[in-house]
């Protein structure tokens, strides 16, 4: 074989192989009937997930609250002693809060998820941003290694956790993205500047004010943890430039708390009080001079209502 012959063989061989393979595949496929069809929800061309329905008054000037049911899909969240899953309880709580706000008719509301689907932490915050939300609330029901741990807690964002329990909780909640095989920790960190710092400080103050209102409006309904307002570095709140909080409605690991959260009538009372806090908070922000400031107890340990579930 001369040089040209060798070259021809080298280039022709793969083509022949492909042809043989294709023929084999075509013959094989023709004999097999498809047994099922797998349909996957693909993101749109922007790579972003679709926005949820906005409920409430059809008036775009009304403030908008985005309520985020924690976990979902292949991320069940924490588990209770009776086998209940956090993702189911958070969905029930989020829907109940949505219903309370829609019934009241003062603000618009959207849920990040109204079914059992997985959302990455940044997708949850992204929904709030794209909807131009005025407030973002993520609802959870944590587990603690100590079965006696019980009561509701309002967490707001801080780079420095207020205590080791808050820090451990943030670490657990932030793990949600690792479940999806992608760690988003550290992603989207803002460039440090004075303006960013000022805006962050303002958001932190507003978020804490919202926490105070939840504790104040809920004191007769919700059994708060002895230290009901805490801070930690939650990824889901980190990239938001709007007031936000993470509400742990109770400990799923505590039998009494889990039973309470499963109770529809309790969820309605819980939602009624949180909805009131939301409406007062948004009214204060819309017209600060029109709302009479009411002194609120300092969020220090032991100042909250009793630690009884």
Binding mask 252-271 for Zn ion (x = CB under 5 A): --------------------
Question: Residue 70 CB, nearest distance to Zn ion (Å)?
Answer: 4
Number of residues that bind Zn ion (CB under 5 A): 4
Q: How far apart are CA 199 and CA 220, in angstroms?
A: 34
Q: Is the dihedral of CA 48, 184, 155, 146 positive or negative?
A: positive
Please report whether residue 228 would count as binding Zn ion according to CB under 5 A: no
Q: Tokens at residue 309, please?
A: 């579930």
In the block, tokens 């080298």 appear at: 10
Q: Kind of pairing, strands 152-157 and 244-251?
A: antiparallel
Residue with Cβ nearer Zn ion (76 or 285): 76
Question: Residue 176 CB, nearest distance to Zn ion (Å)?
Answer: 7
Residue with Cβ nearer Zn ion (206 or 253): 253
Question: Residue 63 CB, nearest distance to Zn ion (Å)?
Answer: 26
Residue with Cβ nearer Zn ion (108 or 124): 124
Please report whether residue 77 would count as binding Zn ion according to CB under 5 A: yes
Q: Tokens at residue 307, please?
A: 């630690």
Q: What are the C-alpha distances in Å from 42 to residues 47, 48, 73, 119?
A: 9, 10, 16, 13
Q: How far apart are CA 294 and CA 309, in angstroms?
A: 27
Q: Tokens at residue 42, please?
A: 């693909």
Residue with Cβ nearer Zn ion (217 or 248): 248
* Chain residue whose CB lies nearest Zn ion: 140
Q: How far apart are CA 63 and CA 279, in angstroms?
A: 9
| Site stretch for Zn ion (CB under 5 A), options 66-74, 191-199, 221-229, 298-306 | 66-74
Q: Kind of pairing, strands 224-232 and 135-142?
A: unpaired
Residues 56, 64, 68, 70: which binds Zn ion (CB under 5 A)?
70
Binding mask 142-181 for Zn ion (x = CB under 5 A): -------------------------------x--------
Binding mask 97-136 for Zn ion (x = CB under 5 A): ----------------------------------------
Q: How far apart are CA 157 and CA 301, in angstroms?
A: 18
In the block, tokens 């103050």 appear at: 205
Residue with Cβ nearer Zn ion (56 or 77): 77
Q: Tokens at residue 242, please?
A: 């709007």
**Edge-to-edge strand order for the sheet containing 64-69?**
108-111, 64-69, 135-142, 244-251, 152-157, 224-232
Residue with Cβ nearer Zn ion (70 or 218): 70
Residues 62, 87, 113, 140: which binds Zn ion (CB under 5 A)?
140
Contacting residues toward Zn ion, per CB under 5 A:
70, 77, 140, 173
């Amino acid at each position: 074989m001369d040089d040209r012959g060798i070259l021809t063989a080298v280039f022709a061989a793969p083509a022949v192989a492909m042809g043989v393979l294709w023929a084999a595949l075509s013959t094989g496929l023709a004999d097999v009937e498809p047994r099922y069809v797998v349909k996957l929800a693909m993101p749109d061309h922007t790579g972003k997930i679709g926005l949820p329905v906005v409920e409430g008054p059809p008036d775009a000037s009304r403030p908008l609250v985005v309520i985020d049911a924690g976990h979902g899909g292949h991320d069940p969240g924490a588990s209770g002693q009776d086998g209940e899953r956090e993702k189911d309880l958070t969905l029930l709580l989020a829907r109940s809060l949505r219903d309370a706000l829609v019934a009241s008719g003062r603000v618009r509301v959207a849920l990040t998820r109204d079914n059992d689907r997985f959302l990455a932490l940044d997708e949850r915050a992204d929904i709030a941003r794209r909807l131009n939300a005025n407030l973002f609330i993520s609802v959870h029901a944590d587990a603690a290694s100590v079965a006696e741990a019980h009561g509701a807690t309002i967490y707001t964002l801080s780079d420095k956790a207020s205590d080791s329990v808050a820090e451990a909780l943030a670490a657990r909640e932030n793990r949600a993205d690792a479940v999806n095989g992608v760690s988003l920790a550290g992603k989207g960190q803002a460039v440090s500047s004075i303006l960013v710092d000022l805006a962050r400080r303002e958001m932190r103050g507003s978020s804490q004010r919202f926490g105070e209102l939840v504790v104040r409006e809920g004191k007769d309904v919700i059994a708060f943890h002895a230290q009901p307002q805490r801070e930690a570095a939650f990824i889901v709140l980190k990239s938001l430039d709007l007031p936000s909080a993470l509400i742990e409605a109770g400990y799923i690991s505590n039998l009494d708390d889990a039973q309470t959260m499963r109770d529809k009538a309790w969820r309605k009372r819980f939602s009624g009080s949180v909805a009131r806090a939301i409406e007062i908070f948004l009214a204060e922000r819309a017209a600060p001079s029109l709302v009479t400031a009411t002194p609120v107890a300092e969020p220090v340990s032991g100042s909250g209502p009793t630690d009884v579930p």
